[in-house]
Amino acid sequence: MPDTVAEMNQVMAEADCLVDEQQVQTAISNLADDITGRLKDSNPLLLCVMNGGLILTGQLLPRLKFPVQAEYLHATRYRQETTGGILEWKLQPEADMKDRVVLIVDDILDEGTTLCAIADYCLAHGAKEVLTAVLVDKQHDRKARPDLKADFTGLDVEDRFLFGFGMDYKGYWRNAPGIYAVKGL
């Protein structure tokens, strides 16, 4: 698909770099320090939300200074207006959550509907406490709940169409080394 490659290269060439790679690495180090400080004695279960949380989780895990059980899940949200909070599970977590602290790791907190639904799922399956960690909190007033915040946030970024470090544009550029905004979006 040469047209796709050309289109994706054009998107990158025109994109605005909002956060460079070094700033992202600093944010991940700070996240790891905050998570370690809070969870080092709690035997947490870390759940990576696929596909977006893959890069953050991969870079976060070696920086956590305590033993951690890491698993993954894959869920998407139906985009129909009347069923906005219902998840479609592509892969449910298999680990036992009963009486555990669960840390959900994802790339971005945008509106937060999917993250909230995953947290509710974990609580319904016996988690003692559910915490969330995101690389990016997109700044706007369209959150699923008023004042919705992740427990651990790496960066606050403006309300634009973002890609890089796990976030994608049409399925591409999750591998971009910083946080970029698509020109005009």
Whether residue 185 is predicted with pLDDT greater than 80 in this model: the reply is no
Q: What band does 2 get if pLDDT is binned at 50, 70 and 90?
A: low
pLDDT at 85: 53
> Using CA atoms, how far apart are residues 89 and 169, in angstroms rounded to an integer?
22
In this model, does residue 94 exceed pLDDT 80?
yes
Q: Are 132 and 106 in contact (CB under 8 A)?
A: yes
Alpha carbons 73 and 137: distance in angstroms, whole number? 20
**Quick check: helix, strand or coil at residue 72?**
strand
Here the CATH number for the domain that contains residue 115 is: 3.40.50.2020
pLDDT tens by residue, 103-150: 999 999 998 988 998 999 999 999 999 999 999 999 998 888 888 999
Q: Output the 3-class SS for 90-129.
A: EECCCCCCCCCEEEEEEEEECCCHHHHHHHHHHHHCCCCE
DSSP 76-91: EE---GGGTT-EEEEE
What is the domain extent for residue 123?
A: 2-181
Burial class for 92, CB neighbours closer than 10 Å (0-12, 13-18, 19+): exposed
Q: Give the count of domains, the chain.
A: 1
List residues bridging with 46 in a β-sheet: 70, 103
Asked if pLDDT for residue 3 goes beyond 90, the answer is: no
pLDDT tens figures, 39-83: 999 999 999 999 999 999 999 999 999 999 999 999 876 544 334
Token reading at 37? 């400080």
What is the reported pLDDT for 80?
Answer: 43
